[in-house]
Amino acid sequence: MSEKSFINVPLNRVEGDLEIRAEIEDGVVRDAWCSGTMFRGFERILQGRAALDGLLLTPRICGICGTSHQAAAAAALNRIAGITPPPDARRVIDLVLMCEHIQSDMRHGFLMFTADFVNPAYKDNPLYEEALRRYAPLKGETVIEVIRETKKVLEINAILSGQWPHSSFIVPGGIVSRPNDTELLKCRMILKHYRKWYENRILGCSIERFGEIRSAGKFDAWLDEKQARRESDLGFYVRYSRKTGLDKIGSGCTNFLSFGSTEPPGCSGTDSRLFPAGFLHQGIIFDFAQENISEHVATSWFLDYTGGKHPFEGETRPFASGYEGKKYSWAKAPRYKDLPAETGPLADMLVSGNSLIADMAAVEGHSAFLRELARLLRPAILIPAMEQCLSEIRSNAEFYISPGEISEGEGFGLAGAARGGLGHWVKIREGKIAHYQIITPTAWNLSPRDSNDVRGPAEEALMGTEVRDPANPVELGHVIRSFDACLVCTVHVVDGVQ
């Protein structure tokens, strides 16, 4: 006879509040529900406010990716004003965004994700002692180094944008700051220092050498070639994950969505973006169009409407009915062409055709391991792009074009945030915010079921996960945290437009 039980797990080390409910049969997850347990109700804050106020208020939705919110908010207003910021302003914005990403990637990886490697469930693992030495919360060698180095690279953000977190330097028409040559030089030095640290401590080789690895086979050969690589944090991550089976769990819905990492012109000054936008479904990459996005509320604590609504038409009327009936989350269910979709570094890399990650997905399959691996490797792609950005920014260039009064219109702004695609949809009437809807990366990834009863990506990723000890379901933590969930972001910023 099979044994069936339910477990409820409040999960920390996700930014915000998340509870997982899993139905476990014979030690395997048979069904799962992701519940965002906090509603912050941003709608009243923005509604009726001046057009520019979203620039200051929306970054406060998230303490980690505030710059991305600002970039999206400004992009929406640029669209309404019909204005294109000068290319050098665009480069500074890209640079500051990428800086936000490369610190977030390391903090998530080694302060939040690998903290599970020292879970007592693994105490008999031969690598446990070493994991403890590296990743014990606030004590591990890598933890200490990540805290020390990530704050240094954020000095770039302070120099260019005033402070991190929660600056407000991006405005419609460009940026308020005008970096001079000495400041740009300082940024280069800070970035160079971070690159060196990332190469030595995390990668175990130069970014250029690592860039030569284009297949799963080459990756394993690279790892085995030198002791330093096996002992780098990337090397250890790979060895530990494979030993504990992280490469066998957490596959997900395998639809991937990328909003693109920068708005054209990208770092190169052409229309080619570092990570182009696209939707990967059943192995085919489709062009991305924001018109295909909708949000469902069938299982979310909001008053019902039929099917999905595009964010320009979205509505948010909270309905705290508790855990009875179908509703179980404060997150809505965003869908692309009515399908659930995963977003984040893995999606960005697959959609952009990154050969190593694509080959690993093909050879080894999707997993929590691969998802986090993409995050840990992203700085190897971003750091050279940041260097290029820095070499292209001209201190005597134009950084701001006055957009004039923004009084009427609707527009959307998209940004590639650290955790994936972020979108703001805004309507301005008589100079005031009449409608503001935000869909965050976590809303995509940690989405509850939609009106067709289809699970969200993380819920789907939990399916089939083996749970060895229901009292300490560390495996569920691996799967969920591989999405770098940020629940403080599942705010709903809407209105009723009346």
Q: Which amino acid type is present at position 231?
A: E
SS3 131: helix
Return the residues of window 449-488 that contact other proteins according to CB under 8 A. Answer: 471-472, 474, 488
Q: How many residues bind other proteins (CB under 8 A)?
A: 85
Q: Is 9 in the site for other proteins (CB under 8 A)?
A: yes
Return the residues of window 124-163 that contact other proteins according to CB under 8 A. Answer: 136-139, 143-144, 147-148, 150-151, 154-155, 157-163
Smallest gap, in angstroms, from Cβ of residue 488 to other proteins?
A: 5
Q: Is residue 265 reached through a cis peptide bond, with omega within 30 degrees of 0 on the bond before it?
A: yes
Return the residues of window 361-400 that contact other proteins according to CB under 8 A. Answer: 399-400
In the list 28, 56, 83, 223, the residue contacting other proteins (rule: CB under 8 A) is 56
Report d(CA 234, CA 486) in Å as an integer: 23
Report d(CA 79, CA 286) in Å as an integer: 24
Strands 170-171 and 174-175: antiparallel
> Do residues 332 and 296 touch, judged by C-beta distance below 8 A?
yes
Q: How would you list the strands of the sheet with 18-25, edge to edge?
A: 4-11, 18-25, 28-36
Return the residues of window 184-243 that contact other proteins according to CB under 8 A. Answer: none
Q: How distant, in Å, are the alpha carbons of 22, 252, 370 from that of 465?
A: 10, 11, 16
Q: Is 49 in the site for other proteins (CB under 8 A)?
A: yes
**Closest CB to other proteins among 13 and 310?**
13
Smallest gap, in angstroms, from Cβ of residue 42 to other proteins?
A: 6
Smallest gap, in angstroms, from Cβ of residue 61 to other proteins?
A: 6
Chain centroid, CA 497 distance in Å: 30
Strands 293-296 and 308-309: antiparallel
Stretch that binds other proteins, among 71-79, 115-123, 244-252, 351-359 (CB under 8 A): 115-123
Report d(CA 281, CA 287) in Å as an integer: 11
How many other β-carbons are positioned within 10 Å of the β-carbon of residue 2? 8
Count of CA atoms in the C-beta half-sphere (13 A) of 1: 2
Report d(CA 160, CA 93) in Å as an integer: 9
**Closest CB to other proteins among 139 and 394?**
139
Q: Would you give the binding string for other proteins spanning residues 323-362, x where CB under 8 A is met?
A: x------x--------------------------------
Smallest gap, in angstroms, from Cβ of residue 334 to other proteins?
A: 20
The helix-helix angle for 216-225 and 355-364 (nearest 10°) equals 100
Burial class (CB in 10 A: 0-12, 13-18, 19+), 69: buried
SS3 347: helix
Stretch that binds other proteins, among 107-115, 277-285, 287-295, 408-416 (CB under 8 A): 107-115
In the list 22, 24, 29, 64, the residue contacting other proteins (rule: CB under 8 A) is 64
Smallest gap, in angstroms, from Cβ of residue 366 to other proteins?
A: 26
In the list 77, 95, 97, 171, the residue contacting other proteins (rule: CB under 8 A) is 171
Q: Which amino acid type is present at position 380?
A: A
Smallest gap, in angstroms, from Cβ of residue 45 to other proteins?
A: 5
Return the residues of window 297-326 that contact other proteins according to CB under 8 A. Answer: 318, 320, 322-323
In the list 166, 230, 239, 281, the residue contacting other proteins (rule: CB under 8 A) is 166
Stretch that binds other proteins, among 46-54, 221-229, 275-283, 286-294 (CB under 8 A): 46-54
Smallest gap, in angstroms, from Cβ of residue 402 to other proteins?
A: 5
Stretch that binds other proteins, among 108-116, 250-258, 341-349, 367-375 (CB under 8 A): 108-116
Smallest gap, in angstroms, from Cβ of residue 164 to other proteins?
A: 6
Q: What angle do CA 200, 203, 204 make, to 5 degrees?
A: 55
In the list 81, 96, 111, 341, the residue contacting other proteins (rule: CB under 8 A) is 111
Smallest gap, in angstroms, from Cβ of residue 315 to other proteins?
A: 15
Burial class (CB in 10 A: 0-12, 13-18, 19+), 70: buried
Burial class (CB in 10 A: 0-12, 13-18, 19+), 16: buried
- Six-digit token string for 180: 């001079």
Smallest gap, in angstroms, from Cβ of residue 126 to other proteins?
A: 20
Q: Is 80 in the site for other proteins (CB under 8 A)?
A: no
